[in-house]
Amino acid sequence: MSNVKPAVFTPEYRIQFDNSSLIQAIAGKSLAHPPVWLMRQAGRYLPEYQEIRSHFPDFMSLCRSPDATTELALQPLRRFEFDAAIVFSDILTIADSLEMGLRFVPGEGPVLRNPITTPKQIERLPFDTCIERLDYVFTAVRHLRAALGQRLPIIGFSGSPWTQACYMLSGYGEKNFTTAKKFAYTHPVAMTSLLERLAALTASYLYQQYLAGADVLFVIDTWGGLLADTHFSLYSGAMLQRICDHLLEMQCPAPIMFFSKGLTVSRLSPLAKIPNLCIVGLDWCADLPAMHQHFPSLTFQGNLDPAILHAGPVTTQQHTRDLLESLVDHKRYISGLGHGILPETPADSVHALVDTVRSQSSTRR
């Protein structure tokens, strides 16, 4: 199966094409080795992160400090020389801007003080003024762009509408998000309305990150894998289509990246036709070579199991090499993990991953 996609890149694109292996990989160019960056590459596994985190009373206070988040985004670049920077933020910033009382509780994760329990509550959410309360994110992108200049591309991101709705309905990181799924079955019209509003907000949020200096826009659908195929199509796939359509209407040239746990060929097939969807992140259960074969016009990222890095540098090196050798070539491939890097991951294992990508793959084009 081949899906011909129109060019997304424009002369106004801020990163110089020849200066970025990530941008070249998206365009399908031959490279000496794949670019590499990791989800959550800035975070708790780095002692320098912990030092900065200690100066803030809670996680969202940290996220609202552009100076701090800029430094946090730069830290892994200094250590590992990744091929892209990603804005330091959270997938639930939109929920927070809707005045749902987001806080992060040690040992529990995100908790929303005012979860949605009835359809009527959706109508009372302050959708119209949401974006202005997210200006701290756009300021952080501008600061990061100023710090990097044109050296590396910046990835801006948002949680997907479905993933945001999971927390907005459940109120916390509920196992399997049964509350959200019950709401979807009990109030399907209200659920669709909520997701459509979140899709429009997500597109505006990502577009503002693009205007501030982000080069790639990333939609993170962490909990899409919890959905049956029909609901995945309605609540994840259709909402990604809406986000991408909105961005095209805004004449946003940035390539879109999408990650969802549990992606299969059948789930990805309709999404592969979205013209500005260029990069797809895969978890460690996906068959990466098969995905390449079915969707040759897409660039894939992943899909090493993050737990492997806990086994140490030697094991990390072997699994990274095995993954690279499973591919026919390294075109349209970005090396990385199948989800975010785990806390307490040894930094030596991250070095082993990066070094293996850059040394072992140079013979494959």
Q: Which residues are catalytically annotated?
A: 40, 44, 53, 90, 167
Output the 3-class SS for the chain: CCCCCCCCCCCCCCCCHHHCHHHHHHCCCCCCCCCECCCCCCCCCCHHHHHHHCCCCCHHHHHCCHHHHHHHHHHHHHHHCCCCEECCCCCCHHHHHCCCCEEEECCCEEEECCCCCCHHHHHCCCHHHCHHHHHHHHHHHHHHHHHHCCCCCEEEEEECHHHHHHHHHHCECCHHHHHHHHHHHHCHHHHHHHHHHHHHHHHHHHHHHHHHCCCEEEEEECCHHHCCHHHHHHHHHHHHHHHHHHHHHCCCCCCEEEEECCCCHHHHHHHCCCCCEEEEECCCCCCHHHHHHHCCCCEEEEEECHHHHHHCHHHHHHHHHHHHHCCCCCCCEEEEECCCCCCCCCHHHHHHHHHHHHHHCCCCC
Q: 70 burial class (0-12, 13-18, 19+ CB within 10 angstroms)?
A: buried
Contact 112, 95 (CB under 8 A): yes
